[in-house]
Amino acid sequence: MINEIKRLLKEVEELTAANAGEIEALRIKYLSKKGEIARMMNNFREIAAEQKKEVGQHLNILKEKAHEKINELREKFVEPEGAGGDFDLTRTSYPIALGSRHPLSIVQKEICDIFGRLGFNIAAGPEIDDDEHVFSMLNFPDDHPARDMQDTFFIENKQVDEPAGREIILRTHTSSVQIRVMNAQEPPIRIICPGRVYRNEAISYRAHCFFHQVEALYVDRNVSFADLKQALDFFAKEMFGKETQIRLRPSYFPFTEPSGEMDISCNLCGGRGCSFCKHTGWVEILGCGMVDPAVLANCGINPDEYSGYALGMGIERIANLKYRVNDLRLFSENDLRFLKQFTSAY
């Protein structure tokens, strides 16, 4: 048996391997429970008592040498610390620049978070919609200027024969989402509708053919204009600071009555007057009003039982005020010099 142990010892000392898989195969062959050394240990019980000491010493040497050799082979294939397979050693040592959120995404999320604290849920709808949801059910007369080709993108649908008077268009506001929710859900309704909208306008530093809106709708029993004013004051202070003041001016929208526009005290000059606020101390940021009873009736909601308010704002407008961006085109040109300024924002 000693001769067989010496033969195995010589084999172990001459072991080589080309990869980690071969090393594992050698370990199984010599050191596993059914390997060569384990077989020799089982045969050891049959050795005469007077030979056990000598044979046992040789077996221990064999086992120790086998472990040392396998570990020695493994070290050749172990990656040095910090140079694992997931690392490209040819890559430049300069750090990789982190990405950033788009400023419009930052502002939209902040607006949604503020109204979320007031109990509003986010609702979404299609950007390609029809005249009924975008205009008719919102109380737009047939001769309203917003229906003119200069404002709305119309889509010719050659695959579907649309009923007479039902045009397919790119939505001009996210109010169409409010109509869909009111058609599908009974009050109380408390939603906020962020999304992209389209209007057929010339592109300049102050206008674009597409932009982003956030609109809010609250319909329930006994909703009053005081509720609207309280929500607007809360939003303005949360978005622009505790010192921000608001004022409401009468206005007109087909889907609200009464209607108003909200101004905030200029956050650049603190209301003292500057070129940004045209030396008035106030900046317009949104339109609002009580939902017209005709709109509620169009959606199957009893206007004698329920009332509500709605408001809407352009996300680009709010971003301009927060980040002092004076050219709307920057939001859609993907200029990295512009976007990198928001790497750590929100």
AA identity, residue 279: H
- Specify whether the backbone of 121 is left (phi greater than 0), alpha (psi in -120 to 50) or beta: beta
C-beta of residue 115 within 8 angstroms of C-beta of residue 215? no
CATH number for the domain including 116?
Answer: 3.30.930.10
DSSP letter at 97 equals: P
Give the model's confidence band at 81: pLDDT under 50 very low, under 70 low, under 90 confident, else very high: low
Asked if residue 59 belongs to a domain, the reply is yes
pLDDT digits 0-9 by tens, 154-175: 887 655 555 545 788 899 999 9
What tens digit of pLDDT does each residue of 128-149 get?
A: 998 899 999 998 888 877 777 6
CA–CA distance, 296 with 178 (Å, rounded to integer): 11
Task: Based on the fold, state whether residues 118 and 19 are members of the same structural domain.
Answer: no
The string of pLDDT tens digits covering residues 312-345 is 999 998 988 888 887 888 888 888 888 888 875 5
330 and 261 co-located in one domain: yes
Same-domain pairing of 50 and 132: no
Q: What is the pLDDT of residue 128?
A: 92
25 and 166 in a single domain? The answer is no
Region of poorest pLDDT, from 21-35, 51-65, 90-104, 275-289 = 90-104
Statement to judge: residues 40 and 159 lie in one domain: no
In terms of domains, do 321 and 208 share one? yes
Mean pLDDT of all residues belonging to the chain: 85
Q: Directed axis angle between helix 103-116 and helix 315-323, to 10°?
A: 100
138 and 57 share one domain: no
Cβ contacts of residue 202 below 8 Å, gap of 6+?
none
Residues 232, 119 share a domain = yes
Which of helix, strand or coil describes residue 321?
A: helix
- How many structural domains are present in the chain? 2
- The verdict on residue 135 lying in a domain is yes
Classify strands 210-220 and 128-130 as parallel, antiparallel or unpaired: unpaired
More confident residue, 115 or 326: 115
Structural domain includes residue 289:
yes
Whether pLDDT at 1 is above 80? no
Q: Determine phi and psi for 67, rounding to 5 degrees.
A: -60, -45
- Report residue 120's pLDDT band, with 50, 70 and 90 as the boundaries: very high
Task: Note down the domain range covering 148.
Answer: 105-342
Residues 215 and 157 both lie in one domain: yes
pLDDT at 160: 53
Q: Is residue 308 part of a domain?
A: yes
Comparing 238 with 77, which gets the higher pLDDT?
Answer: 238
pTM over the 0.75 mark: no
289 shares its domain with 229: yes
Cα gap 291→256, rounded to integer Å = 4
Which range is most confident: 2-6, 168-172, 303-307? 303-307
Q: Within a domain: residue 83?
A: no
In the three-class reduction of DSSP (H, G, I as helix; E, B as strand; rest coil), residue 31 is classed as helix
Task: Select the more confidently predicted residue: 259 or 98.
Answer: 259
* pLDDT given at position 287: 94
pLDDT at 218: 97
Mean pLDDT throughout 190-202?
A: 92
